[in-house]
């Protein structure tokens, strides 16, 4: 099969189009013929080797974390799916590889594709949808009437998170450029702050939750908009000690992450709020709940561009510019 592979960790490296073997099916796997694959900044970080200490891959490996396609074969222990099912997924860490013609995925990571979405639209959902769900439902336990500040509202996570937060009954504030203000308002944002023009810490106060996706300076500023007991949840780091425990990292890495996050954890404690880092995980059951929200019209995908499979490198370069509104997708088949 054709696939785009990483031969060597490199920040500016080009993915190589290669002939790779069709993945071997394990007993609990489904083999998916890939129709479309979402492109994420996570792909860029993995290619650059930024996550190598916690997500090591042996080169050459196939990149890609989002997929929509059709099941062509199932393992002997698979009970939930059958050949012909149209599905989507964010394959678990260690088993990525959606920039290809086929992928084997554990059935626990898979959900039926929303019937009202095209393959390209469906491929835009899993990683950002699960990230938003796990931040708001699992970690923040967001309730009706609460206030949440979601940074970078026009990005992949932001466009999904705004819609989910509104569905949960929260008041939503976000940052966006002037060209994206109408988009985030149409998704349900109640307060839109121009990220070039305004300082969000001077506009917002008394918030229950902040979803941070930006740099360390923005992370620290975010503490000031939370009320006592509020939650600062970062999806861009620094990883904390709880994350290290869940990943089962060795003692040295646990110590490093403890030191990296000590500053923000200390400042959060002084401010009377909590800090936590969330690195989303594959979860087919949660994705099925997201499917229901999409099929009911509660949440819609927001897509910027669809690139042909042979232009995968160009798609990744475009995502790296940070200018995409919503998601970028590769059409494989």
Look over the chain and give the mean of its residue pLDDT values, rounded to a whole number.
Answer: 97
pLDDT at 195: 80
pLDDT of residue 12: 86
The pLDDT of 132-150, averaged and rounded, is: 98
Q: Give the span between the Cα atoms of 64 and 53, in whole angstroms.
A: 19
d(CA 195, CA 189): 15
CA atoms in the 13 A half-sphere facing the CB of 306: 16
Query: Shortest CA distance to 276 belongs to which of 225, 222, 322, 227?
Result: 222
Q: What is the pLDDT of residues 203-213, one digit of tens each?
A: 999 999 999 99
Q: Is 235 exposed, middle or buried (0-12, 13-18, 19+ CB in 10 A)?
A: buried
Query: Which bin fits 152, alpha (ψ -120 to 50), beta or left (φ > 0)?
Result: left
Give the pLDDT of residue 37. Answer: 99
- Architecture of the CATH domain 2-124+301-331: Alpha-Beta Complex (3.90)
In this model, does residue 198 exceed pLDDT 90? no
- 28-40: pLDDT as tens digits: 999 999 999 999 9
Delimit the domains of the chain by residue range.
2-124+301-331, 127-277
DSSP characters over 91-145: PPTTS---SBSEEEEEGGGEEEPPTTS-HHHHHTSHHHHHHHHIIIIIIS---TT
Q: In the structure, what pLDDT confidence band is assigned to residue 139 with cuts at 50, 70 and 90?
A: very high
Checking if the pLDDT of 23 tops 90, the result is yes
Per-residue pLDDT at 126: 98
Confidence at residue 197, expressed as pLDDT on a 0 to 100 scale: 83
Average pLDDT for residues 54-72, to the nearest whole number? 96
Q: How far is the C-alpha of 229 from the C-alpha of 46, rounded, in Å?
A: 34
CATH class of 127-277: alpha beta
């Amino acid at each position: 099969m054709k696939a785009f592979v990483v031969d060597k960790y490199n920040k500016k490296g080009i993915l190589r189009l290669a002939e790779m073997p069709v993945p071997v099916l394990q007993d609990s796997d489904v083999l998916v013929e890939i129709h479309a694959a979402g492109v994420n900044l996570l792909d860029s970080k993995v290619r650059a080797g930024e996550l190598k200490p916690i997500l090591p891959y042996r080169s050459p490996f196939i990149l890609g974390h989002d997929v929509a396609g059709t099941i062509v074969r199932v393992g002997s222990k698979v009970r939930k799916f059958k050949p012909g099912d149209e599905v989507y997924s964010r394959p678990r860490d260690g088993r990525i590889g959606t920039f290809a013609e086929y992928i084997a995925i554990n059935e626990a990571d898979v959900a039926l594709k929303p019937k009202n979405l095209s393959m390209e639209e469906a491929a835009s959902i899993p990683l950002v949808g699960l990230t938003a769900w796990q931040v708001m439902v699992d970690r923040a336990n967001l309730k009706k009437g609460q206030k949440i500040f979601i940074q970078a509202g026009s990005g992949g996570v932001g466009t999904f998170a705004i819609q989910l937060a509104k569905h949960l009954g929260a008041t939503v504030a976000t940052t966006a450029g002037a060209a994206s203000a109408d988009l985030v308002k149409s998704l349900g944002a109640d307060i839109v702050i121009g990220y070039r023009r305004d300082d969000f810490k001077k506009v917002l106060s008394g918030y229950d939750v902040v979803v941070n996706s930006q740099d360390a300076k923005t992370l620290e500023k975010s503490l000031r908009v939370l009320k006592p007991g509020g939650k600062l949840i970062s999806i861009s780091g620094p990883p904390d000690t709880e994350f290290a425990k869940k990943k089962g990292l060795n003692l040295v890495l646990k110590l490093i992450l403890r030191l990296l996050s000590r500053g923000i954890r200390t400042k959060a404690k002084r401010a009377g709020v909590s800090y936590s880092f969330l690195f989303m995980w594959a979860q087919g059951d949660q994705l099925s709940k997201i499917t229901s929200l999409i099929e009911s019209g509660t949440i819609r995908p927001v897509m910027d561009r669809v690139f042909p499979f042979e232009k995968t490198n160009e798609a990744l370069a475009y995502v790296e510019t940070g200018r995409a509104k919503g998601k970028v997708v590769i059409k494989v088949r």
